[in-house]
Amino acid sequence: MLSGCLSGGGGGGGGGGSSEAPPEAETRVQDTREFVATLPDPLPTALAGTSIFVGTYPGLQGDAMYAVEVPDAWDGDGLIMWTHGYGGERLNLNLQMPPPAWRQAVIDAGYAWAASSYSSNWYDARAGLEDTNKLALNFIDYIEADYSQRLATPNQYLISGGSMGGHIAAAAVDRENLEQTLFPVSYAGAAPFCQSEQNEFQWLGDYTRLMLHIAGYDEDEYANFRDLAGTFVPVSTIEVIGVAGPMVTALFNTSGGQPNWGSPKNADGQRLVDIAKILTGGERPMFDEGFNYFFNDVVLGTGGSDGTVNGILTANIYDNQSRVYRWTTGPTPTPEEVLFNESVPRISGDPDANPLRDDGVRWIPLVNGDFDVPVLTMHTLGDFYVPFRHQQLYREAAQTNGNEDLLVQRAIRARSHCDFSDAEYTAAINDWLTWVNGGAKPAGDEVLDATVVADANYGCTFTVGERLGLPACATPP
């Protein structure tokens, strides 16, 4: 689950961009990074009744690795591309396998699957999309070259992924990216889970900058944010706050030196909590549990970025000029909220930070909700890193484009990021495949009605298995 976390980019706005391609000589920091693709040792083991193929192929930024698994009786009966999450800030690439339950459900349905390591790390969703599409179109040739075995051509292509991979899966079926990609693939459907997208960097920038402001550190450089937040220590693949810094302790109590996110110290701390609730999707079950979890530390660990998403862009994308921050839910801001918004420092993003390109999709491919194939999503309600708000934005965009009937969304009662049970993965994959192949449209959750989302039982319908220590459904789903 942790390997699906997002980049440490600390800013980001909606992500429009000019229609002009950037100057040919323009070079990002990302373009200077040289990545290494080393096959895993030992190689992944095939499931019973399947064959698995692993190798390398030329990707957008250099070599990438591939894994392809096919049922023994497979004769081109559908291929699902798996798009993995954030691979970290490291030059060594990692061939991430799909979640075991996802993988088994796909194989049990008679489908083959394929996954790319991508040819780069950091938050390079562009390389992820282009490398995945290229693999989908050419995996037969790669396997023949590496294994002297010729597989059948798929009769259907689908795509699914999680976190940054969810961003890639959703973007892969969006009209702009279908038109701009170097390797067009006619996907018959998408299943993006716990998906990020371009607005993620607006959220990361908003929360970190609001904490700086509310704690009274506006005069400090944003680049000093991490030092003000505290001392970060590595735990597995992430960093958490070992000792809280002055900005955090101004707003929250501590326990053993670490932040106690569930214990605001004062009205200012509570105000930050209340604003964060609205920014992440509004009143809903699991918000409190998600806020009081280590992903709050992870979000703060993104502080200090200049808004280029750590070198993925050449200019700042974060913009809060028109952002209205609320902690009440009335139809208009209160006088106190008006005064607060007048006091918030405003930052302008560069409108050309993420432009259209003439050599593939944008550096950060946009998810515009403009698709014409069945899309099924899942998202945990307490996810503080890639918040549930992304599902609301996705629904609004689909409605704007008139294709909301092709979008089914499921809310899961968990506090973590991409924290889905085996049964939730299995049900989602089976229902999605039935729908894609002409069967009944699966059921989903309402995500925009604030009253529905705030209900204590919201998310009960598709949550399978209670998470230890989290509120159970008041009544059976």
Give the C-alpha separation, 288 to 474, whole Å. 17
Q: How far is CA 108 from the centre of its chain?
A: 26
Query: E-strand spans in 236-302?
Result: 238-244, 252-255, 258-264
pLDDT tens digits, residue range 404-426?
A: 999 999 999 999 999 999 999 99
Pair (147, 276) in one structural domain: no
Q: What is the pLDDT of residue 129?
A: 98
List beta partners, residue 240: 233
Structure-block tokens of residue 316: 């700042």
pLDDT at 476 over 90: no
Same-domain check for residues 267 and 394? no
pTM comes to: 0.94
Read out DSSP for 26-44?
Answer: ---SGGG---B----SSPP
Residues 89 and 172 in one domain: yes
Residue 176 and residue 34 in one domain: yes
> Does residue 24 sit in the same domain as residue 79?
yes
**Do residue 62 and residue 127 come from a single domain?**
yes
Could you tell me if residue 476 is inside a domain?
A: no
CA 147 to chain centre: 34
- Tell which of 298, 316, 343 closes a domain: 343
Write the pLDDT tens digit of every residue in 233-269.
Answer: 998 878 999 999 999 999 999 999 999 999 999 999 9
Pairing state between β 238-244 and 63-71: unpaired
12 in the Ramachandran plot: left (φ > 0), alpha (ψ -120 to 50) or beta? Answer: left
Asked if the structure places residue 191 within a domain, the reply is: yes
Contact at 8 Å (CB) between 197 and 395? no
The verdict on 48 and 188 lying in the same domain is yes
Residue 468: pLDDT band (50, 70, 90) is confident
Whether 466 is in a domain gets the answer: no
pLDDT at 21 over 90: no
* Structure-model confidence comparison of residues 432 and 472, the more confident one: 432
Tokens for 196? 């990020």
Same domain, 194 and 45: yes
Looking at the fold, whether 117 and 42 belong to one and the same domain comes out as: yes
Residue 73 to residues 65, 76, 471, Cα–Cα distance (Å): 25, 9, 44
CB atoms within 10 A of CB 74: 20
* Number of domains within the chain: 2
- Any idea what the CATH number is for the domain that residue 95 is in? 3.40.50.1820
Residues 6+ apart with CB under 8 A from 446: 452, 453
pLDDT bin (cut points 50, 70, 90) of residue 16 is very low
Contact criterion met (CB below 8 Å) for 306 and 282? no
The answer to whether the beta carbons of residues 142 and 366 sit under 8 Å apart is no
Look at residues 462, 410, 470 and name the one whose alpha carbon lies nearest to residue 289.
470
Predicted pLDDT at 23: 47
pLDDT in tens, 421-447: 999 999 999 999 999 999 999 999 999
- The pLDDT, as a whole number, for residue 236 is 80
Rounded to an integer, what distance in angstroms lies between the CA atom of residue 107 and that of residue 113? 8
pLDDT band at 309 (very low <50, low <70, confident <90, very high): very high
Q: Let me know if residue 468 belongs to a domain.
A: no
Would the pLDDT of 26 be above 80? no
| Residue 469 domain flag | no
What confidence tens digit (pLDDT) does each residue in 52-78 have? Answer: 999 999 999 999 999 999 999 999 999
Q: Are residues 181 and 233 in the same domain?
A: no
Domain that holds residue 87: 2-6+17-198+357-454
**End-of-domain residue from the set 289, 308, 343:** 343
Please determine, for residue 32, whether its predicted confidence score (pLDDT) is greater than 80: yes
pLDDT at 15: 42
List of residues 6+ apart from 145 with CB closer than 8 A? 55
**Shared-domain flag, residues 237 and 182:** no
100-108 and 422-436 are packed helices; what angle lies between their axes, rounded to 10 degrees?
40
Q: How many CB atoms lie within 10 A of CB 73?
A: 9
Last residue of a domain, one of 343, 365, 395: 343
pLDDT in tens, 74-90: 999 999 999 999 999 99
357-403 confidence digits (pLDDT tens): 999 999 999 999 999 999 999 999 999 999 999 999 999 999 999 99
Averaged pLDDT score across all residues of the chain: 93
Residue 11 lies in a domain: no
The pLDDT confidence band at residue 304, using thresholds 50, 70 and 90, is low
Q: Does residue 24 surpass a pLDDT of 70?
A: no
- Token pair of 429 as six digits: 């994959």
36 and 173 together in one domain: yes
